[in-house]
Amino acid sequence: MKIVRENIQKEAVDIAMKHRRCGLGISMGVGKTRIALQHLIKNYHPICRYLVVVPKNTVIDSWNTEMDKIADQFKDLSDEHYEIDLEVVKQQIEFVNYRSIHKLDPNHYNIVYLDECHNLLFSHEEFLKNYKGIILGLTGTPPTSKGSEKHTMVQKYCPIVYEFSVDEATDSKILNDYTIYIHQLELSKDSNLKKKKKDGGHWFTSEVKDYSYLNNRFNDAMSQQQRQFAAIMRMRGLMEYNTKEKYLKAILKNIGDKCIIFANTKEQADKVCTHSYHSGNKNSEYNLELFNDGRINKLSCVLQLNEGISIDNLRQGIIMHAYGNERKTAQRIGRLLRLSPDQTAICHILCYKNTMDEKWVQQALKTFDQSKIKYFNTLN
């Protein structure tokens, strides 16, 4: 497996070296950071400046860890003029978050690495259009929606020239095989859903009636602005209904393996699990440490664990909402695919029947092997 991974890494680097500006669509687990560092080594010069753009600062730790693993390769760059080691190279590399890239001088860098380049937005274009050097973008989930902001930016500044998908990684035994269970839930007919009034009071209705109201509001919208607002309200309703939380408790009672729960909000993450990881929890890093060490076997999170943070030996995961976003879903499922080769990762996705939730799940899973997706009808 190690040899297969190294061969793919080499192939990706060799192809990237043929392009001045390009992107690589590499599945989680193959080693995107290692590929970027091998590319840096091939392009290394002692007076060059390298910029690594990351979605969040926690990703920087992954880069430093990978650099430490190949420290000897940096020593091999020394010659009669320059003595090079890992610390020298680290001083030549600058890290920045995507939201701060506009503050930088594009003329200061020779090579820019766009980690998780699907995060590119039009707001980043001012830097990129004035930057004249080499660009290498890296992503496990290249944007597929043509004409969208992210797809446009990736195509313009780091077009994907090489891809190695999740299914290719599982077939090559780099990642584990997987089974996805779609749990199809009925919205509750009980009138216990509390809704706020404009005057500060409240009233009660059922999830079925509330969704019907929100869906009709979307269908009756006259303008594009009204439809967008109605769509957001409908999605928010589906994310806030309690039926999934109740059903989740039943699932967790039957899961003894190490399991991660992807919640919709910080409040929900705290509600469904004793230990959570999110920006509002001051114990997040400690909880992640407990989870990685095996001292706890359940951890809930929101978006922060989608990218850049590695968790080994996950057996099962639960996605409470698929969003209709294949990138986020692929990243979450990818968290589970790092077991020993003879194990199968299990992903549970909770879905409300006869709602937009079903369409979002279908959209999110369209790039996955459909033979590995199982549907589980439940009466809640």
Three-class SS state of 191: coil
177-187+241-377 CATH pick, 1.20.990.10, 3.40.50.300, 3.90.1170.50, 3.50.50.60? 3.40.50.300
* pLDDT confidence tier of residue 308, bands split at 50, 70 and 90: low
CB 19 within 8 A of CB 161: yes
Calculate what percentage of the chain has a pLDDT beyond 70: 92
- For the chain, what are the domain ranges? 2-171, 177-187+241-377, 193-240
pLDDT at 360 over 80: yes
CB 207 within 8 A of CB 355: no
Q: Name the more confident of 282 and 310.
A: 282
Distance of alpha carbon 327 from alpha carbon 25, whole angstroms? 12
Distance of alpha carbon 149 from alpha carbon 319, whole angstroms? 26
pLDDT in tens, 2-58: 678 899 999 999 999 999 999 999 988 889 999 999 999 999 999 999 999 999 887
* pLDDT confidence tier of residue 295, bands split at 50, 70 and 90: very high
**Whole-number mean pLDDT of the chain?**
88
pLDDT in tens, 192-250: 988 888 777 888 999 999 999 999 999 999 898 999 999 999 999 998 899 999 999 98
The per-residue pLDDT for 61 is 86
pLDDT in tens, 170-182: 888 887 788 999 9
For the domain made up of 2-171, give the CATH fold: Rossmann fold (3.40.50)
* pLDDT confidence tier of residue 327, bands split at 50, 70 and 90: low
What integer is the mean pLDDT of 243-267? 91
CB 151 within 8 A of CB 144: yes
pLDDT at 332 over 60: yes
| CA-angle at 42, arms to 41 and 45, nearest 5° | 70
pLDDT at 93 over 80: yes
What integer is the mean pLDDT of 120-127? 96
DSSP letter at 78 equals -
147: left (phi over 0), alpha (psi -120 to 50) or beta: left
What integer is the mean pLDDT of 130-155? 93
| 177-187+241-377 has the same fold as 2-171 | yes
